[in-house]
Amino acid sequence: MYSYDNVIGNENIIEHFKNTKQNKKVAHAYLIVGDEGSGKKLLSYSYAKALQCEISTESACHKCESCIQLESSNNPDIKKLHPEKESSIGVEDIRKQINNDIFIKPYSYEYKIYIIENADRMTPQAQNALLKTLEEPPQYAVILLLVNNIDTLLATIISRCIVLNVRAINKLRVEKYLINNMQLPDYKAHFCATFSKGIIGTAIKLASSDDFLLMKDHCVKLVTKLRNLDIYEILNSIKGLEEYKSRINEYLDLILMWYRDVLFLKASKSKELIIFSDEYDLLLIDADKLTYNSINKNIETIEEAKRQLDSNVNYELTLELMFANIKENA
Ligand SMILES: [Zn+2]
């Protein structure tokens, strides 16, 4: 259900939203910026719901017709843009669904709200078309633009919007959420919360995916036996990684976190802050065998591999080099 109560963190944005409704100072355009999974959608739809609610003075009552209609995607005055293509939002999408529609007065409620998800996919032409509307919007219009990356938007668009940054949440809060709401055991909650870097949507996705936990086990197995492998066996291991090829970035992040844990454990021997807390004994072996220098080199070599893969350097070659370096550092 779309409700401010279901948003974790980002209290400042909710406060701002509540004030705009209470004081009737709603802007015509909001730019809601945040990583994938950070909760932009929940925030935006909760705001749209609250604005149209005729009973509550600052949020939503969840009972009136408007609130119920929003939950079933049937609110006539809250419109989500449906672009023709999935990969981009074109000028025709904006013309047909916004510019030609926005001057028709709201059907039942106070505002007419448009929600553009993935607004960073708007082509420059689409942005210019939207700009015309943003320059002189009708008094009842509210446009919510959701973006991961603000850099793809024209400065002229940004300057006409109120920009709200959706922030990652403290990892402990994410962890607590996973334990209380998803009944995850402590060490799994800790692991998923840390890996998600405080992005709640990612944490929930990881926590509900068996795949991710299997991948984690796969990674631990590989990384702990690496020093005993010869080059031929390393090549074979890379073939064994084939099933994770599309998620190789996540896989490398796991290896990175492993060596950060090893480093941490070597420095402190404390079990408290490590992420792979269920693999303590294996971490300890690496912490004993590896020098500070070689652990740091491993971390650098994995980060380098991630950069290479980002810039589309040959996949197998990059991994071969990375694993060979890690082996050599041991
Ligand atoms: Zn309501």
pLDDT in tens, 44-75: 999 999 999 999 999 999 999 999 999 999 99
Distance 62 CA to ligand 1 centre (A): 5
Above 80 in pLDDT, residue 27?
Answer: yes
Distance 74 CA to ligand 1 centre (A): 14
Query: Considering the chain, what percentage of its residues have pLDDT values greater than 90?
Result: 77
Q: Which domains does the chain have, with CATH numbers?
A: 4-165 (3.40.50.300), 209-329 (1.20.272.10)
Distance 46 CA to ligand 1 centre (A): 11
Q: Determine the Cα–Cα distance for residues 154 and 296; give it in Å rounded to an integer.
A: 40
Above 90 in pLDDT, residue 235?
Answer: no
pLDDT in tens, 130-185: 999 999 999 999 999 999 999 999 999 999 999 999 999 998 999 999 999 999 88
pLDDT in tens, 271-315: 777 889 889 999 999 999 999 999 999 999 999 999 999 898 899
* Contacts for 6-9: CB closer than 8 Å, 24+ residues apart: 6/42, 6/46, 7/39, 7/42, 7/43, 7/46, 8/39, 8/169, 8/173, 8/174, 8/177, 8/200, 9/39, 9/167, 9/169, 9/170, 9/173, 9/200
Distance 54 CA to ligand 1 centre (A): 6
Q: What pLDDT, on a 0 to 100 scale, did the predictor assign at position 243? A: 87
Quickly count: other Cβ atoms within 10 Å of residue 313's Cβ. 12
DSSP notation for 92-155: HHHIIIIITTTTSPPSSSS-EEEEETTGGGB-HHHHHHHHHHHHS--TTEEEEEEES-GGGS-H
**Which pLDDT band holds residue 238 (cuts at 50, 70, 90)?**
confident
Q: For the whole prediction, is pTM greater than 0.95?
A: no
Question: Half-sphere exposure (CA, 13 Å, Cβ side) for 171?
Answer: 13
Q: What pLDDT, on a 0 to 100 scale, did the predictor assign at position 220? A: 93
Distance 101 CA to ligand 1 centre (A): 24
Strand ranges of the sheet holding 112-116, from the earlier edge strand across to the other edge: 78-80, 112-116, 141-147, 29-33, 162-165
